[in-house]
Structure 1
Amino acid sequence: MRKIILVILIFITLLLLVYKLNPKPVKQFVNKLSKSVTSSNINKDSLTVASRVNSPKGFKRVDYPIGSYQDYLRNYALKPYDSKIINYDNSVYYWQKGHEGILDISVPKNGLQQCADALIRIRSEYLWETNKKDQIGFNFTSGHYCSWSDYAKGFRPKINGNKVTFSKTETANKSKANFYKYLNLIYTYSGTLSLFNELEPITKADDLQIGDMLILGGIPGHIVMLADQVVNDKDESLFLLFQGNTPAQSVHLVKNLEDASISPWYNLKMDTVIPVSNFTFYNSKFARFK
């Protein structure tokens, strides 16, 4: 009997410790362990976001124009189902139970492509591929705007603390290789905080759409992107989410560890705590690329 009591006390102590270190309710932590199973909504043999995940019963996918950013994201290519999350140094991420798919996008070995950077890259590649290159541009954390158009013309920033000036120091180069050098520059001087400050908030859940982002701006902060959307006859929407991470790693489609009945779909609300895989969003905002 004493042994049983001792085991119970040790278990309670461990749960309290987990609660102290991670502000999620203990019940959610326990459920996370038990719910890390493959959802019945998943088609393991499918290799795009939309074909990998079925619509839940009573929901259907929201129509978006072919060729739109929303259409691009929901049809983004995935690696085979059993692919693992890999860190930038080619090591295997320690926890593999929080995703339902790995996006087919490389992880640069330089370690720069972290959570915000991965979404910046996806957005930029869409604009590149749809011949909207003049729309590629992002603010540095300092607030200074850096466009691909100027970078391609040879303009480079000179950074001294929060003071940034641009001058033409390189020859013009519009190549794809130079484009990725530009993105490395953006990864270095932009991030969740710059996006949080740069982008206007979305204030109503009814206005959310594919391509929008949930951002907690900070150093560190975190960000996820809405990858697909379904709606029912009550106009209630559910969303899929994908994320990169810090340190830089494979961009992945996340499970909903709080509600296995709809996972990997999320019912997103305003002004609420939103647990996403290995991160919990507090004091966050939804925003959209311009």
Structure 2
Amino acid sequence: MPINYINEAGLTVSNRIKLPKGYTRTTTEVNSFASYLQDYILKPFGAPVINYDGNPYIYQSGHVGILEIPVPSNGLQQCADALMRIRAEYLWDNNRKGEIGFNFTSGHYCNWSKYAEGYRPKVNGNKVTFKKRAAANYTKQNFYKYLNLIYTYSGTQSLFDELPPVNAISKLQIGDMLIKPGSPGHVIMIVDIAENRDGNRLFIFAQGNTPAQSVHIIKNPNDTSISPWFELEMNGFLEIPTYYFNDSQFMRFK
């Protein structure tokens, strides 16, 4: 009978998931993106995945936790968008607002600082120009308008094109993403890592999805003996609930 690695009372990513015997959890630096993810607040155990329209997602058997991140009713915050939001809010919360920025699929860089100053893009096919067309506004409300713009013009392809790859399982860090670029593509993020004395590593993933829905920690459908932990093989096949990756290509936020 599989061991239950879920602590139903746990209300953060690292507290919700128990460690397999012989493994220790990756220690992270204070205020790092990795510690931000390990300590991310979860809804109480059993909370359902909710779509942007407020209705439960049709499939509720693939997750073990829901991250406390709102799902806008506009339907824009899909798989890549949800992870870009988490990264952007981490930078915001840690007074690193000047680092908030993402490429459009066209390759044009759009950062929060210029948006806050009033610069807006004019998009014509793959041609993008920025002009100052609004008053300066540095509020959190305007920040979320900026993110809606990113959700519209960025996605799995832009992340794949923009970000540096990670080419070894031993080098993967919390916050790295497995990306299948394209339309439709998909992306999942490592939110916890455990390792044993032999150097074997196990990983926990979270994802957003399409339609836009709650960001959730996923189960391992292929190995229930360690679920929700995953073993990984570089450039290998990986199945997750409702999706699979033919080859594992990992990327890291700059």
Q: Same fold (TM over 0.5)?
A: yes
Number of aligned residues = 254
Which residue of 2 is the match for residue 184 of structure 1?
A: 148
Whether contact under 8 Å (1:39, 1:264) holds in the other structure is no
Give the letter for the 2:56 counterpart.
V
Q: Which amino acid in the other structure matches residue 162 of structure 1?
A: N
Matched letter for residue 183 of structure 1: L
1:276 counterpart letter in structure 2? I
Counterpart of 1:142 in structure 2 is: 106
Percent of aligned pairs sharing the same letter = 57
**1:97 maps to what in 2?**
61
Q: Which runs of 5+ in 2 are unaligned?
A: none
Q: Which residue of 2 aligns with 1:280?
A: 244
Greater alpha carbon shift after TM alignment, 268-277 vs 123-132: 268-277
Residue 226 (structure 2) pairs with residue 262 (structure 1): yes
User: What residue number does 1:128 align with?
Assistant: 92
- Counterpart for residue 67 of structure 1: 31
Q: Determine helix, strand or coil for the equivalent of 2:42.
A: coil
> 3-state DSSP class of the match of 1:188?
helix
Distance 1:116 1:39 in 2: 32
User: What is aligned with 2:188?
Assistant: 224
Give structure 1 regions of 4+ aligned residues with deviation exceeding 2 angstroms: none
1:205-243 Cα deviation digits (max 9, x unpaired): 110010000000000100000000111001111110000
The equivalent residue for 1:252 is: 216
The answer to whether the Cα contact below 8 Å between 1:78 and 1:101 also exists between their aligned partners in 2 is yes
Is contact 1:84-1:96 (8 Å) kept? Answer: yes
Encode CA deviations 1:29-59: one digit per residue, 9 max, x unaligned: xxxxxx9xx9611011111111001111110
Structure with max Cα Rg:
1
TM superposition score normalised by structure 2: 0.98
Q: 1:119 aligns with which of 83, 86, 109?
A: 83
Residue-by-residue CA offset, 1:112-153 (whole Å, 9 max, x unaligned): 000000000000000000000000000000000000010011
The question of whether the paired residues in 1 share the 8 Å contact of 2:238 and 2:248 is answered with no
Change (3 A) 1:251 1:39: farther
Deviation at 1:284, TM superposition (A): 4.5
What TM-score does the superposition give when structure 1 sets the normalisation length? 0.86
Structure 1 residue 283: Cα displacement: 3.9
Instruction: Work out the CA distance in 2 between the residues paired with 1:156 and 1:258.
Output: 45
